[in-house]
Amino acid sequence: MREIVLDTETTGLEAYGGDRLVEIGCVEMVNRILTGNVFHVYINPQRDMPVEAFNVHGLSAEFLSDKPVFAHVADDFLNFILDDTLVIHNAAFDIGFLNAELERLGRPAIARDRVVDTLALARRKHPGGGNRLDDLMNRYGIDSSRRVKHGALLDAELLAEVYGELLGGRQASLIGLVENASEAPRLVTAARAAHPRPAPLAPRLSGDEEAAHAAFIDSLGDKAIWLKYAPPAPVEQTGS
């Protein structure tokens, strides 16, 4: 399963009121494990940078003046995200800006039903608590010391960690998929190369072992939880 964790920076808050994208950062996850594959671009908004926005992300109009406009990076961006699920914090904001830019180019909008909003996940999991990205990093003990200012790529990387925690913790490590982060690329490569078996493996249980297991299940009674997952095989009818 491929997911793209995404963040943006902008000149302000109004996607259709004159504000524009200035940065997009994306990180790829396969089976909830970071692959190291990223998309990152700064964008020339072709307008000034309000001081309020500059104080958030530190991107000046002068710095962005020689960067490509969105029209020149749109294809690369769309080719990176493809049709996969997008994981975004406060998704309405980022999707609103992305779709405003795509609309200006006459390109199809990004459908809202392919987006996982981690803000909504956090509000369900922690009702009444602070659910900004900073709040969630503090709650889960995620190191945010690199986050002096907002940056789309760094925030996407941090959000990927938060997303894992919202789904129940660092699952890959807990179930023994990887012992450390350096193992993730190897695992992803192996997963991509895997193909279905042409035929199922032969059973490894002997007939005696299967019979012993069936007898044990019978001893649990007809209300055993096991029967919800492995109902008994139908009894073969014999002629009289």
In a domain, 231, yes or no: no
In a domain, 82, yes or no: yes
Which residues are annotated as catalytic?
Answer: 150
CATH number at 107 reads 3.30.420.10
In a domain, 216, yes or no: no
pLDDT tens digit sequence for 155-213: 999 999 999 999 986 544 443 444 454 555 555 555 555 555 566 666 777 888 888 87
Domain span including residue 144:
2-193
pLDDT tens digit sequence for 74-121: 999 999 999 999 999 999 999 999 999 999 999 999 999 999 999 999
Cα 98 to Cα 21, 111, 128, 149, 155, distances in angstroms: 8, 11, 30, 21, 17
In a domain, 85, yes or no: yes
pLDDT tens digit sequence for 1-39: 899 999 999 999 999 999 999 999 999 999 989 999 999
Question: Once rounded to an integer, what is the mean pLDDT over residues 140-154?
Answer: 81
How many domains would you assign to the chain?
A: 1
Full-model pTM: 0.70
In a domain, 187, yes or no: yes
In a domain, 210, yes or no: no
What DSSP designation does 114 have? G
- Helix extents (H) in 148-219: 152-166, 171-174, 184-193, 207-219
